[in-house]
Amino acid sequence: MRLPLGEIFTNQSGQKIMRELDSLERIIGIKFINQDLLRQALVHRSYLNEHPKFHLPHNERLEFLGDAVLELVVTDYLYHHFDNPEGELTNWRASLVNATRCAEVAKEIQLEKYLYLSKGEAKDKSGKARNFILANAIEAIIGAIYLDRGYEQAAKFVKNYIISKLDYILANDLYIDPKTRFQELIQEKKGVTPQYKVLKEEGPDHNKLFEIGVFVDGELIAKGQGHSKQEAQVAAAQEALNKMNS
């Protein structure tokens, strides 16, 4: 069963407005054969808690698929377009496929207004939590494109919205691992090595969310979240760098 285009829903101001996915298709330049795949990519788990009879599941399986497709497309592109050492290409890839980059893409295409969120999640505009929801939705959309239109269309989306940022990343040295940059700064200033500790982990095994703190001389400097410990460590290091530069 598919809901008709122009499904009515209530926004945060209590106004009745239309959730029109045709406009999102126009933005990303891809017309879905089965638009419910695109719709599912926008369904956050919290929405189903309030709407258990909704006809589609949440987007976590699509996110799982899209994450793999995203990494493959970026890896394939870097391998065939650059002759750099493996270590450099790994850093470049990490700078393209991380949650921060995906969240930026989500904001670029104004994805937030299309998301299916619980009332609580819709009201919570806190940066980190919302950015993870946005980043996950981008990965889910990539997974949906792959299922609906195949690898080439998924690769087109990734190239247009993610790989297109590579020149800027390289020009501004944004590919350098935040953990490396933070460690070099702390060793230069204090002569010690930062330590990372897991503060919290939650979620099912296939979609864990880790919160990790970075400590210097036993003092908590910053926290970061990610779907792997490595990703959370990088986020914590980046937050620590942001604090140092503010």
Active site residues: 67, 139
DSSP 99-160: HHHHHHHHHHTTGGGG-B--HHHHH---HHHHHHHHHHHHHHHHHHHHHHH-HHHHHHHHHH
Residue 222, helix vs strand vs coil? strand
Contact by Cβ (8 Å): 40, 59: yes
CA pair distance 8, 22, nearest whole angstrom: 14
CA pair distance 40, 172, nearest whole angstrom: 36
10 has which bridge partners?
16
| E strands, the chain, in order | 7-10, 16-19, 195-202, 209-216, 219-226
Contact by Cβ (8 Å): 212, 232: yes
175 has which bridge partners?
none
**Cα–Cα separations (whole angstroms), residue 35 to 4, 70, 105, 122, 177:** 10, 20, 21, 23, 38
219 has which bridge partners?
216
